[in-house]
Amino acid sequence: MAAPDAPAPTYRLIGTRIPYIEGPLKVTGRAEYTDDIKRSGQLIARLLRSPWPHARLRSINVEKARAMPGVAAVLTGEKYPTPFGVLPITHDETAIAVGKVRYIGDILAAVAASDEATADRALEAIEVDIEPLPDYPEPQGGTIAVAEPIHARGLNGTNIQKEVVQHFGDVDAAFAKAHATVRVRGTFAGVTHAFTEPMATIAEATPDGRLTVWSATQVPHYLHRALSEVLGIPMHRIRVIKPEVGGGFGGKSDPLPHEIICAALSLETGRPVKILFDREDVFVTNHGRHPTKNDVRIAVDADGRILAYDIEALIDGGAWSSFGTVTTYYNGVLSMGPYRVPNFRYHGRRVYTTKPPSGAMRAHGGTNIRYSVELALDDLAERLGIDPFDLRERNALPPHSTTVNQFRITSTSFVKCLHAARERSGWDQKYRKLPYGKGVGLGCGFYISGSNSPIHFTPKMPQCTVHLKADMDGGIAVHCMQADIGQGSNTLLAAIVAEVVGVDLDRVHIMRVDSDVSPVDIGSYSSRVTFMMGNAARQAAESLRDQLIRAASRLTGYPPAQLEVAHEKIRVRHRPDIAVDYLAALHAAMERTGALLATGAYNSPPMGGDFKGARAGTAPAYSFAAYVAQVDVDVETGVYRVEKVWAAFDCGRVLNRLAVEGQIEGSIHMGLGQMMGEAMSYRGARLMNPSLLDYKIPMPQQMPEVECLLVGDDDPEGPFGGKEAGEGPLIATLPAVGNALHDAVGVRYHDLPVTPDKVLRGIEVREQSGRAWKGVG
């Protein structure tokens, strides 16, 4: 059901509720995930993980393990020591530890055996001799030179992996003339993706010199590259296949050591090898959201107009770089939009620690900093006596503008988001008017719709290519390496092709991702797929459509310019009764050439400033959000419930309403998890809760009612005007709840997750200070 203010539907499919095309396979258990694949003669691999947070390896004796019956191969680090990593500038991982282990869970050795039990017994027979090294579980200690840096690449003998210093405008001058300033210091526990499908990989080296790898990955192309680099096999001899993937959220975007190990073991044994993670493997592999401390200062004038941001972030990277360089930039540059910030200073450091690595997780880099900024703005609004909505609106970035750090802003419907959320939530009747324990809060969001630069190759090569093939059967096969991990990109791809060519959805077949045949798309991260794949698909489909139109032109005698596609046919625009069936047009077009081929590609336009790090955060478009959350707090126990979220979101034109709602609801669920209870809980460097029992993903009863308010205007460059909706919808959730808690009990909580004990403690501290729950103070 379309919202009354949605743009008038001008497309047959685009903009409707399109059920996932692979849905019938998923609801019947017929969708094939990696662990559902079984290769004949396959071995099972298991990994020996480090029990030490930081240690130098003196020797590893695998002889006993190797001699055990049923054991086919044992692998240690020196065989494949080539470093790799998702970013070419920070290759600091090896498939298996070489020389040193850096966290509890780092991989010491791998065994391939006839079955899991045999492999596990073999692991226990491996003897490791080490020299313990000082561990560095916290980033604070690592910002100065340390006795034993975790990586040699740390800056000047420290554990700092990346330091970013940026200054635009004159922050000190802006603070000097400010009418009011605020400072917020936030602490954020690490959180992790916790997708339901554990990682799994199968590798099969074959006698023809080729290697096939099936893996639960959201970025098959980077895996392809890493396999080639580390194993020393040219890419064209490696074939990467992505089966159905049971969720990723960023956790399956780095090429991961086990994928390389699995392939190495197959090369070693000449047999197919499968590796399936148990939950603890998944948790220690992590790559989730970074534990972070941030320190945000904001200066405003008397009207609440933002004069400057001054931000620091200390980011706990864990053992490896992963996406960390990007994370370090994002914590700064993604803090500004949706607002105009004329002066900006940022100092961010990501520090290696001896913890499981952090990396990219849904709304990567934009979540923690956003929480602190939004709470700071609410505090300012209250002190200035300005309504939080008004304060945001006064600061909204205008459409078609440039930010102080040279982001190119094109479409923004942020103000429409504010209006929709304010109106639908009944804000003006509720804010500061509800009884003690109940409250509403506003949180806003901003996120990239794709990253402007591909990580691994020159921006001259497209970030996404789509191939179509239409043959006599009337079906259209679509090849593209985009990775559907549940977000619905296959469905969108099919819908775009069907829309443009005018055919029924069931004529379009999305072929499984297979590097031998799928043209490169760089995968599901940075919310890029809809925008980039969508444009490439549209271009490819238009090229196919044009071939059909030319054929129809020959058949009807009307020039192509006077023809248009309609449902399953091509007709004359001013004489709709004159039409050629799709199949007839297709068959006519195939005369002489055979099956039709069409291709489309997407390159993002040049953009961004000319300074170090200028590209970080540049995107062909941005999403915007304004959420209101309503909470109910038991003020004696601190237990609270989020009753409702009004989620106003600007993803440009809504392309698949069902999918966008699903992304928003799922994002709110994940955001609430981080807000209310999820935490990677550490004692020192040791992860205490590597299980789905102790890692607290919210339950259905904890979900609020969600009202999606999709008010975006068409983006000028987005496919059909669409932008991202996969990550941005998470961000506003947390501050909306945080600000609602303040409205309810008069406390701003800056230490996430905000569990009941912390809520209660905050109330007690406020009461002890004699401060009332309402009113400025």
How far apart CA 726 and CA 452 sit, in angstroms, is: 17
Binding mask 684-703 for other proteins (x = CB under 8 A): --x-xxxxxxx-xxxxxxxx
Q: Does residue 114 interact with other proteins by CB under 8 A?
A: no
Q: Pick the closer one to ligand FES by CB: 33 or 773.
A: 33
Q: Does residue 662 interact with ligand FES by CB under 6 A?
A: no
Residues 6+ apart with CB under 8 A from 279: 198, 690, 691, 692
Torsion of CA 85, 88, 91, 95, to 10 degrees: 40
Closest CA relative to residue 621, chosen from 453, 401, 448, 415: 448
Question: Which 3 state secondary structure label does DSSP give 293?
Answer: strand
Phi, psi of 442 (to 5 degrees): -110, 135
Closest CA relative to residue 711, chosen from 697, 699, 721, 726: 721
Q: Pick the closer one to other proteins by CB: 14 or 485.
A: 485
Q: Pick the closer one to ligand FES by CB: 324 or 486.
A: 486
How far apart CA 56 and CA 54 sit, in angstroms, is: 7
Q: Does residue 760 interact with other proteins by CB under 8 A?
A: yes
Q: Does residue 609 interact with ligand FES by CB under 6 A?
A: no
In angstroms, how far is the first alpha carbon of the chain from the final one? 46
Q: Pick the closer one to ligand FES by CB: 28 or 156.
A: 28
| Whether the Cβ atoms of residue 650 and residue 6 lie closer than 8 Å to each other | no
| Whether the Cβ atoms of residue 645 and residue 628 lie closer than 8 Å to each other | yes
- CB-based burial label for 208 (10 Å; 0-12, 13-18, 19+): exposed
Q: Pick the closer one to other proteins by CB: 24 or 777.
A: 24
How far apart CA 743 and CA 14 sit, in angstroms, is: 40
Q: How far is the CB of 383 from other proteins (least distance, A)?
A: 28
Amino acid at 633: V
Q: How far is the CB of 662 from other proteins (least distance, A)?
A: 5
Q: Does residue 28 interact with ligand FES by CB under 6 A?
A: no
**Considering only residues 293-312, where is the footprint of ligand FES by CB under 6 A?**
none
Binding mask 303-332 for other proteins (x = CB under 8 A): ------------------------------
Binding mask 480-519 for ligand FES (x = CB under 6 A): ------x---------------------------------
Q: Does residue 65 interact with other proteins by CB under 8 A?
A: no
The item of other proteins, ligand FES, none sharing an interface with residue 706, based on CB under 5 to 8 Å by kind, is other proteins
The item of ligand FES, other proteins, none sharing an interface with residue 390, based on CB under 5 to 8 Å by kind, is none
Question: Which 3 state secondary structure label does DSSP give 42?
Answer: coil
Q: How far is the CB of 52 from other proteins (least distance, A)?
A: 8
Binding mask 220-259 for ligand FES (x = CB under 6 A): ---------------------------x------------
Q: Pick the closer one to other proteins by CB: 51 or 560.
A: 51
Binding mask 458-487 for ligand FES (x = CB under 6 A): ----------------------------x-
Q: Where does 349-481 have alpha helices with state H?
A: 368-384, 388-394, 414-425, 427-430
- CB-based burial label for 743 (10 Å; 0-12, 13-18, 19+): buried
Partnered with residue 19 across adjacent β-strands are none
Return the range that interacts with other proteins (CB under 8 A); candidates 301-309, 511-519, 571-579, 666-674: 666-674
Q: Does residue 673 interact with ligand FES by CB under 6 A?
A: no
Q: Which of 757, 772, 776, 777 touches other proteins (CB under 8 A)? A: 757
Q: Does residue 196 interact with ligand FES by CB under 6 A?
A: yes
- Which DSSP state fits 502? T
**Considering only residues 225-284, where is the footprint of other proteins by CB under 8 A?**
244-249, 276, 278-280
Q: How far is the CB of 27 from other proteins (least distance, A)?
A: 4
Q: Which of 756, 767, 773, 774 touches other proteins (CB under 8 A)? A: 756
Tally of CB atoms within 10 A around 79: 13
Q: Does residue 765 interact with other proteins by CB under 8 A?
A: no
Task: Spell out where 400-528 has E strands.
Answer: 401-402, 408-409, 438-448, 464-470, 476-479, 508-510, 513-514
Q: Which of 542, 568, 643, 665 touches other proteins (CB under 8 A)? A: 665
- Which residues contact ligand FES by CB under 6 A? 196, 247, 486
